[in-house]
Amino acid sequence: MAGTKIFGIVLAGGEGKRLMPLTADRAKPAVPFAGQYRLIDFALSNLINSNLRQVVVLTQYKSHSLDRHVSQTWRLDGMLNSYIASVPAQQRLGKRWFSGSADAILQSLNLLRDEKPDIVVVVGADHVYRMDFAQMIDAHIESGAPATVAAIRQPIGLADQFGVIEVDSQHPDRIAAFREKPTDPVGLPDSPNEVLASMGNYVFDADALIEAVIRDGDRPDSNHDMGGDIIPDFVNRGEAGVYDFNRNDVPGSTDRDRYYWRDVGTIESFFEAHQDLISALPVFNLYNRWWPIFSQQLNSPPAKLVRDGRGSLGVTIDSIVSLGSVISGAHLERSVLGPWAKIESGAHVVDSVVFERAVIEPNAFVTRAILDKDVVVAAGASVGADPARDRARGFTVTESGITVVGKGVHVVP
C-alpha cells in the first residue's frame, strides 16, 4: 500500500425505511447509536484508523443532521490535502437524484478525476464493526483482481438473509458467483456449514471502478446498485476477488469481538446491536483504545447517579450511560442512555434504548423500547409493557414486541 494513492467513498444516501420512525427526520447514517455515536462514525473511524486521509461522504436523503455531524465532528487538519467532506447529490448528469449507490458514484466521478487515486475504497455508512482496510487493500493489490469484496462467514442457515459469495474451488480468493439471498446456498470448500456474506465494503482499482459505473449507467435495465449490479458485472468478467474478514486483525480486538459485524438496517437488528454492547464482556467492545470509535465530543458534564428527594438511590445494572444524563432514584437495567437523558424517582427502564434529552418521569415504566430524541414519558405512564396498546396509540411495534416512540412524542398515562 505504501506509495499508492487511496481514496475513500462512504455511501450515505440510504433512506432507511426499515428503521422508521427513527429515520422520519434524519438520514439512516445519522441515527444515534450506543449513546454518543451516530452510525456513520463506525465507517469513518475504520477508514481514519486505516490511515485513509481523503474521504467523501455521498449524501442525499434528509441529510441536514448528517452533513452537520460530518462537518462539525470529522474535521481533519487540512494539511497534506487531508479531508473528510460531505458531498450531496449534485445533479451533474441532469435534473435527477441518485437512483442507486452505483449512480451516486457515477454522478460524483469528478471527485475521482480531481484526485486521480490508484485505489478506491467504497463502504456503507450503516454497519457496526471494526476493520483495518489497509490489510484489505494489501490483499487486493496482491491478488491482481480489479475489484475485491469484503465478506464475513455466516452459518449456511442464514444465507437467505445476505448477498452470498461463492468462491472458485481452484482459486478461493476469486468469486465464482454472487447470489442475493439464496435458498439453496453452497457451503465453503473449507467449511461446508458456512457461507461468505458480503459486508458491503469494496476495494477497486480506480480505473476499473470508473469504467464499471459508466458502463452500468448506460444499462436501462440496471438498478444502479453496487452490490446488485456492479459486483455481479465484475464477477461475470472473472475480475472479482473476495477478502475473508477472518484475515483481518484489528489492534486491541479480543476473541469475543474480533469478527463482529452487524447490519443495523432494521429495528430488530438495531435493538439487538445495543444489547451486544452492555454485558461485562461485550460482544462488541467500545473500549478498545488501540482502534477507537471517534465521534463528536459533547461539551457536557459527567453522568450522575443520585438519590431522589426521599433518599432512595435506585439501581443501575449492565447499562451504558452517556454524558449529561441524570438517574435519580430510578431503576436502569440492560439499557443504553443517550446524552442529557433523565430518569426520575421510581421509574423503571429495562431492555431499552433511550436517545438524547429523553425524560422518563417519576414512576413511569419503559421496557423493550426505543425512545427517540426529546421523548417524554409522563409520570405513571408506560411504554412497551403492552404492545397491543402501544400499537393502538400509534407507536411502531415490531413482530417481537419492540416499541419505538418517535422524536419529541409526549407519552401520557
Which residues does the annotation place in the binding site for alpha-D-glucose 1-phosphate? Answer: 163, 180-181, 198
In sign, the C-alpha dihedral spanning 230, 231, 234, 240 is positive
Rounded Cα–Cα distance for residues 347 and 325 (Å):
15
Residues β-bridged to residue 316: 332
Among 62, 115, 108, which residue's Cα sits nearest to residue 87? 108
Backbone dihedral region for residue 334 (phi beyond 0: left; psi -120 to 50: alpha; all else: beta): left
List all residues 6 or more positions away from 39 whose beta carbon is below 8 Å from its beta carbon: 28, 29, 30, 31, 33, 125, 126, 127, 128, 264
As annotated, the binding site includes 163, 180-181, 198
What is the C-alpha R_g of the chain? 22
Residues β-bridged to residue 371: 354, 405
Look at residue 269 and give its three-state secondary structure.
Answer: helix
List all residues 6 or more positions away from 43 whose beta carbon is below 8 Å from its beta carbon: 10, 29, 123, 124, 125, 126, 127
Cβ–Cβ < 8 Å for 324, 300 = yes
Residues β-bridged to residue 360: 343, 377
Rounded Cα–Cα distance for residues 191 and 261 (Å):
19
C-alpha cell at 272: 439487538
Rounded Cα–Cα distance for residues 84 and 77 (Å):
10
Q: What b-and-e string marks burial along 319-353, b requiring 16 or more CB atoms within 10 Å of the CB?
A: bbbbbbbbbbbbbbbbbbbbbbbbbbbbbbbbbbb
Q: What b-and-e string marks burial along 163-193, b requiring 16 or more CB atoms within 10 Å of the CB?
A: bbbbbeeeeebbbbebbeebeebbebeeeee
